[in-house]
Each structure stands twice: as C-alpha cells, then as structure tokens.
Structure 1
Amino acid sequence: MTTEKHLGFVGIGRMGHPMAERLLDAGYTLTIYDTQPDALQALAAKGAQIASSPKAVADAAATVLVSLPTPDIVLKVALGEEGLARGSVVRTVVDLSTSGSQAARMLADGLGALKIDSIDCPVSGGVTGAKRGTLALMISGPRARYDALQEVFAALGKSVYVGEQAGMAQTMKVINNLISVTALSVTSELMVMGVKAGLDPDVMLQVINSGSGRTNASEDKIPRFVLTRSFDFGFAIGLSAKDVRLCLEESEQLGVPLRVGDAARRLVDDTRDKFGNDADLTEIIRYVEEAAGVQVRGQAAGKA
C-alpha cells in the first residue's frame, strides 16, 4: 500500500510502541522496523508488516514516522546507506524524536535534496500520554504537509504548528523539556528539605498544589512515582540528560545564558552518573535523598 492510510514507523521503543499501536487502532496500516526484533512482535500480531530495514519501510510507505533516542541515530536512519532517503516511495519523514534544531536542519537539508519533506514533530507527555493519545505535538515544516497529516497527528494527541523553518519545533521541545526537568528538580530538592524538617510529604503536596508552587511535577510525577516509591514514570534519565544538553547547547549558540537550567543539568547528570542511564527520571529525588539521609515516602508507599 502507498496511500496515506498506510504509514511507515521506525523505532518501536517505549514511546514508539504505544504511538504505533494508536495508529493501528485508528485504522492505519503500518510497515515497521526496529533493531530489536522482539519489539515488533506485538504490533505484527495486530497486523503491522515488519520490514528488514529503514529503506524497506520507505519502499512501502509515502509517509514514515520515526521515534528514536538520539540525533545521530535519527540521521543514520534517515540518511544512511540503508536509510529512509534511499526508499522509492517515501515523500515525507516525520521525526517524533527529540533531536535538537541542528539535527533537524541537517535532516531537512538531506531529505530536501531528494525532494522528500521533513516534518519536525517532537512530542511531550511521556509514555502515559503516548498510550492515551494525549501527547502534545510541536510541529514545524511545510504547512501543506502539516495540514495533510492532521488525522495522523490527531491519533497521537494535540498538535500545535510552530512554523515553517526546520528546527523550530525542536527548539520549542527542548525549551519545554528543560522547564519540566527544572520543575521536577527543584520540587524534589524541596520535598526532601521538608521531610528532613519534619513535614509530612502528602501534606506538603496538598499545600503546594493549592498554591502558587504547583507544577506538573507536584501534581503528577511526585505523587504518582515518588511518594509511591515506584519510580516508573517511564522516561530514562540518560535521555533526559541528552534533552537538557541539547537545550543548553542551543542557548549557548544563541548567546542566552541559562543559569537555572545549568543547575538543573548538573543535578540530572549527577543522577545519571550515580544510578545509570536507564534509571527513571523521577529518581532525581533519590540522589538528593541520599545526601540528606531521608526518604520522601507517601502513605501509598507505607512507612517502612
């Protein structure tokens, strides 16, 4: 199939799998590829066709979505020897990854030379948002292609068109991510401070969320994944460190100092170095807890 109801999807990981599954549930047919064959089986059972390479995906579908962990991998998958650009059918590549503006411009230039449109479409909302179809999609690229793919984007969440220029949505995404990580970092530090001072963490969140200190961290991440001690938000600290680095690198290029953002970067990097790349983002608080000698435990986790 080569109609718009048939899509390609490369990168069936924590975010890619639920996004691809939502597209299948919305009535699209998919040709999929991932370097980990086991990741493909559940989608194949729902009717997706497994391809042998990114090029094979691009030989089957005019529009290919990619969800990949780093800019280097995105560029290799798109422009490499067996990459999407070598495909005979592909005409649009939608990058759902957080790749940064520089990689987005390289991607657009490489694909554009072959008359393939590039759409930047980084997403926010985590694994939960991907499963529920409530992601925030930041999109830049040719307006006509954005308009033509509205139904695809609607299956994944709510889209906001940022502009025509390649990389604009990526800049918006890393800004959003640094705001989110900074809120989680400072909330984690101050929850630890409060517990060490004798405050009840459940009561602390009631106060914070009733006042001006509330953020997504205090309303969602801390109560669901920290007070329960589950630490399973579903986003790896190593990927968060990459996203923060991309934002700080771009700010430096633009000549805009981000002193608060740099402090958040140090805490994220320290957490990654201590607990490993695959540790959950919400484990930032564990790094602070160990230095303070306390744990932030809510009623849901018990008092042990």
Structure 2
Amino acid sequence: MTANALTVGFIGLGAMGGPMAERLLAAGHRLLVHDVDPAMVARAAALGATALPSPAAVADAAPVVFVSLPTPEVVKQVALGAGGLVEGSAMRVYADLSTTGARVAQEVAAGLSPKGVAVLDAPVSGGVAGAQAGTLSIMVSGDRVAFERVSDLLQAIGKGTIHVGEQVGQGQTLKLVNNLIAATVWAATAEAMVMGAKAGLDPAVMHAVVARSSGRSFSTEVFMPEAVLERRFDFGFRLELMRKDVRLALAEAEALGTTMLTCTTAKQLYDHAHAHGAEGQDVTALIRLLETWGGAEVSAQRRD
C-alpha cells in the first residue's frame, strides 16, 4: 500500500467492475470486494483484494464503497436489501458506477442517507477498453464534499471525471442521455450500412468514406472497424444492457413529458432483437438482425 492508500469497498466485479477494481488495486489502495461470482472474486483476490462474504460486510469495514452492477433491481438489493450495504456501520460514502436511472439513485439515497451515508451516482462511459485503460468518462452527481473525498479514487478509474450537479440522479440522467444517443445512432448506422451493402457497395469502402465524412460517429469509429467488418462482435457491452439503458432513458423522458419519436423507434429494434434471441450477444451484433432482414452482410471479407 502507498502512503496515500485508502480502504475501499468494491461490489460487482464483472466486465466493467473487474477492470475498475484492478485500477484501484494498481493505484495502491486496499480493496475489500464482493461478487456473486466466485471466479471474479478469486481473480481480484489473486491481485491483492480481500474478499468479504456480503455487501453488509464490505460496508462494515470500508468508509468508501463503490458498486458496479448490471441492473437497477440488483443495485437496490445490494444497497438496501437483506445483507445489503445499509446494514454496514463504517460506510460514509456510497458511489454507484452502474447505470440505473435517476429514480433508483434517489431511492437508494433515501435509504442510505438516514444512516449518515453520502450518496453519489457516478455512471461511467467508455466500455470495457476504457475501464481497462483507466480512461472512462465519469458523470458524478451528489454532495460536492463527498465528491471531493473520492475524486482521487475516481482519477484511478477515469480521465474524464466531472461533477454535474448536487442533486442525486443528475449523473444518471446525463449517462442515459449519452447512451440513448449512442444506441439510436448505432441503430441508424447499422441500417444504413446494410442498405449500402445490399446496393453492392464494399462495406470497407463505405466505412472509410463515412468515417471521414459527416456521418461519422462513435458507431463508425469504434463499433464498425473491427467488431463488425471483421465479424468479431466483441466491443464488450451486451446488447440487453444497451436495451435496458434505452428503456430507462425513455421511461425518464416519459416522466418528464418530453417527446422522443426517433429514440422510441430505435427502442423497437432493440426490443425485437431481444425477443429473437440476442440475449448475451454483444451490442454490435444488432447488425446481424438487420443483415438477415436485408439479405446483405456488412463484412470486410465480401462474399460475392
């Protein structure tokens, strides 16, 4: 441990949480971890983390606890359920790195705040590669003093940390705005690329042109070159999680009374993919559904 090392709890060691936990260990912090997957716990322990049997046990020993979990329901259970963080006595700052939506963040805050815990929602963007490299964007909202307390820890995880507001949930809303844009643009990009392939254009040439033209986006710059054109479908973010984020965003938009015609149409495509066996597949595999419908493949290795 380094001279500035802190004792930190970390719950959720999956595709995103595992690399973030490793970044904290590499920075010299003492890490107390928990996950429902023993293999993930064993991996963290092999790198120097201390495994604990429950979220409550983590919160009983660590003044700062991060969570990185897949769904709002899991976040609520870990934070407020039986054996959850709410039962711990040492935790003073709780930071949720997951994407849960503003309402869940506020519900968790209402449950933890009476215990003297400052709640931060701190969703991240940048994918597995960003988590591994420590270059994630982190959108934090909540008490600024608590934010300053964990800012050094967040710097070990990401390079684009910003405090977006004092109101718990504002970070979640910003993350949903980001992911809604990404999901909708990806749906449109996939449709358009299949259309071009069906017309006989070389997908690699299409990509090269669009990537330096007005149609460029994260989808063309990151999703398309290797995950799609090389047929790897390995960006590292599951399609059902993108669908979850789209649905959370549109539910928040409905509560706010905003019109979301384009994004609602994109949601229908993700719903259709989910209903037809896409669970567990990478988000970039969405294009496979469109290829089936269109009768053309967006591949760098053309099959004439």
Shift of 1:294: 1.1
Q: Quick one: which amino acid aligns to residue 205 of structure 1?
A: H
**Correspondent of 1:177 among 158, 176, 179:** 179
**1:162 is the counterpart of 2:164:** yes
- In the alignment, what sits opposite 1:145? 146
Q: Distance in 1 between matches of 2:70 and 2:294?
A: 33
- In the alignment, what sits opposite 2:35? 34
Cα distance per residue 1:162-200 (max 9 Å; x no partner): 100010000001110010011111110000000000111
Q: Quick one: which amino acid aligns to residue 292 of structure 2?
A: E
Report the RMSD for the aligned CA atoms in angstroms: 1.4
- In the alignment, what sits opposite 1:229? 231
**1:275 is the counterpart of 2:277:** yes
- In the alignment, what sits opposite 1:238? 240
TM-score (norm 2): 0.96
SS in 1 for 2:115: coil
Q: Distance in 1 between matches of 2:264 and 2:13?
A: 32
Contact 1:271 1:283 in 2 (8 A): no
Contact 1:120 1:139 in 2 (8 A): yes
Contact 1:4 1:62 in 2 (8 A): no
Cα distance per residue 1:99-150 (max 9 Å; x no partner): 1000011011111111111100000111111001111100000001111211
- In the alignment, what sits opposite 2:218? 216
Q: Distance in 2 between matches of 1:8 and 1:27?
A: 14
Cα distance per residue 1:5-54 (max 9 Å; x no partner): 11000011111100000110111110000011111111101110000000
Q: Distance in 2 between matches of 1:244 and 1:47?
A: 36
Q: Quick one: which amino acid aligns to residue 9 of structure 1?
A: F
SS in 1 for 2:232: coil
Contact 1:225 1:231 in 2 (8 A): yes
Q: Quick one: which amino acid aligns to residue 225 of structure 2?
A: P
Q: Quick one: which amino acid aligns to residue 138 of structure 1?
A: M
Q: Quick one: which amino acid aligns to residue 234 of structure 2?
A: D
- In the alignment, what sits opposite 1:204? 206
Q: Distance in 1 between matches of 2:189 and 2:225?
A: 11
**1:100 is the counterpart of 2:69:** no
**Correspondent of 1:266 among 265, 268, 273:** 268
Q: Distance in 1 between matches of 2:68 and 2:151?
A: 18
Give the total of aligned pairs.
Answer: 301
Identical positions, percent: 46
Contact 2:5 2:30 in 1 (8 A): no
Q: Distance in 2 between matches of 1:289 and 1:208?
A: 19
- In the alignment, what sits opposite 1:43? 44
Structure 1 gaps, min length 5: none
Q: Distance in 2 between matches of 1:21 and 1:28?
A: 10
Cα distance per residue 1:67-108 (max 9 Å; x no partner): 001111111101112111111111111000001000011011
Shift of 1:268: 1.0
Shift of 1:4: 6.4
Contact 1:239 1:277 in 2 (8 A): no
- Cα distance change on mapping 1:46 and 1:40 into 2, 3 Å: same
- In the alignment, what sits opposite 2:71? 70
- In the alignment, what sits opposite 2:127? 126
Shift of 1:60: 1.2
Contact 1:272 1:279 in 2 (8 A): no
Q: Distance in 2 between matches of 1:152 and 1:273?
A: 39
**1:117 is the counterpart of 2:118:** yes
Contact 1:15 1:127 in 2 (8 A): yes
Q: Quick one: which amino acid aligns to residue 22 of structure 2?
A: E
Shift of 1:303: 4.7
Q: Distance in 2 between matches of 1:93 and 1:148?
A: 11
Contact 2:5 2:28 in 1 (8 A): no
SS in 2 for 1:137: strand
**Deviation beyond 3 Å, 4+ runs, structure 1:** none
**1:135 is the counterpart of 2:111:** no
Contact 2:92 2:117 in 1 (8 A): yes
**1:57 is the counterpart of 2:58:** yes
